[in-house]
Structure formats: structure tokens, C-alpha cells
């Protein structure tokens, strides 16, 4: 549906930037990645709009999904690879719980960058890893065989295989009525 640009804005979330996570470039598996977080705000008040019912947003060139689809937040992250299987990253938390702490609180959680793949046909989101890629490539024996015989498989190549799959199977994106 058309975006109501008379009363709403889509902008980089400055509050999330202040926390020291997003203004920097992250080195994720040897690659520098900026992790911007976006939000919808009312133009007049600049207050954040509750977006639980909005799945995603496209500005004409880039596609963003609502993080509420898989974590209880109200911000959007950009799909960095678009196709049947889309790729995105976002801030995650890993527990730094140790028995001496006894409690698992935000104060002993470590911020990380999480990598995800979303199946655009059903909206299911998975962590990016080699076992997921084997499931995706099961429909393309040639790509699966190439990946299985590739001794240099790493994160970059996982993305290359997903991109190759998307390019070879563009007709597998199902439109909803």
C-alpha cells in the first residue's frame, strides 16, 4: 500500500545510534558492515509510530523489514540481499552469564551482530549457516554439489550461493493474492 508521506517519515533511528552500536562500521567475518537501524515517526511530533502491524517498507530502491517479525522491537533493518531468500543483519545479544552472576540480565549480555536469511515466500527467518544453505540448495543439485565440494566455504561464499540460487530461481517467489 502507498506510504503516507504526508504524516509519516522513515528515518535512521538516532536513539539506537547513540548507544554505540550503529554509528561504527562492524567487522563481521572480515567485512566492514554499517548497521543502520530505521524507524517510522510522525512528521509533526517526531514520535515513533508503533509498527507491529507493518511487515516491511520499500523506498523505491531499498527494502526494509520490521524487526518485530522476529524480535520484539519497533525498528526496521535493510534487506542486503533480495530474492526468494533475503539476507539481513541486526544487533543481537549473547548472554555473558556465569555461575557467579546467578542472574542473566541486560547488564551481563554482550552485543553482537546476527546474520539472518528470510524465506520471502513464508516469512520464516533463520540464522545464516552452512546447514541452512544445504537445505536451500537441496532444490538445485548442481549448486549443492558445488558447495559441498568447495573446501573454501565461508560466510562470503554462503551469501554468494544464496545470490546464485536467487538468480537461477527467480520464478520461485510466490505472490500472495
37 vs 13, more confident: 37
The span from the CA of 35 to the CA of 78, in Å, is 9
pLDDT for position 32 = 63
pLDDT at 172: 79
Domain ranges of the chain: 8-128
Tell me what pLDDT residue 84 has: 92
Kindly indicate the confidence band of residue 129, based on its pLDDT and cuts at 50, 70 and 90. Answer: confident
Beta bridge partners of 95: 109
Instruction: Answer for the pair 99, 45: CB distance below 8 angstroms, yes or no.
Output: no
Cβ neighbors of 119 (< 8 A, separation 6 or more) are: 84, 85, 125, 126
Q: What pLDDT is attached to residue 1?
A: 63
Give the residue, 86 or 114, on which the prediction is more confident.
86
- Per the prediction, the chain carries an average pLDDT of 75
Quote the pLDDT of residue 31.
Answer: 58
Q: How far apart are CA 98 and CA 162, in angstroms?
A: 37
Q: Which of 129-133, 138-142, 150-154, 172-176 has the highest mean pLDDT?
A: 138-142
Task: Determine phi and psi for 136, rounding to 5 degrees.
Answer: -60, -45
Decide if pLDDT at 140 tops 90.
Answer: yes
- pLDDT one-digit tens code per residue, 101-115: 555 455 555 566 678
Confidence band (pLDDT; 50, 70, 90) for 78? confident
pLDDT in tens, 144-165: 999 988 888 776 678 889 989 9
Amino acid at each position: 500500500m502507498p506510504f503516507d508521506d504526508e504524516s509519516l517519515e522513515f528515518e535512521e533511528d538516532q536513539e539506537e545510534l547513540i548507544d554505540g552500536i550503529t554509528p561504527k562500521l562492524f567487522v563481521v567475518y572480515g567485512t566492514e558492515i554499517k548497521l543502520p537501524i530505521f524507524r517510522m515517526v510522525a512528521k509533526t511530533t517526531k514520535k515513533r509510530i508503533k509498527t507491529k502491524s507493518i511487515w516491511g517498507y520499500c523506498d523505491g530502491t531499498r527494502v526494509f523489514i520490521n524487526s518485530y517479525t522476529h524480535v520484539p522491537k519497533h525498528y526496521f533493518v535493510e534487506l542486503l540481499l533480495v530474492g526468494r531468500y533475503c539476507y539481513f543483519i541486526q544487533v543481537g545479544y549473547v548472554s555473558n552469564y556465569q555461575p557467579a552472576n546467578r542472574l542473566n540480565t541486560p547488564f551481563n549480555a554482550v552485543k553482537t551482530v546476527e546474520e539472518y536469511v528470510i524465506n520471502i515466500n513464508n516469512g520464516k527467518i533463520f540464522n545464516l549457516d552452512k546447514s541452512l544453505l544445504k537445505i536451500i540448495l537441496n532444490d538445485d543439485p548442481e549448486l549443492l554439489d558445488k558447495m559441498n565440494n568447495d573446501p573454501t566455504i565461508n560466510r562470503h561464499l554462503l551469501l554468494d550461493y544464496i545470490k546464485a540460487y536467487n538468480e537461477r530461481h527467480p520464478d520461485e517467489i510466490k505472490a500472495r493474492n
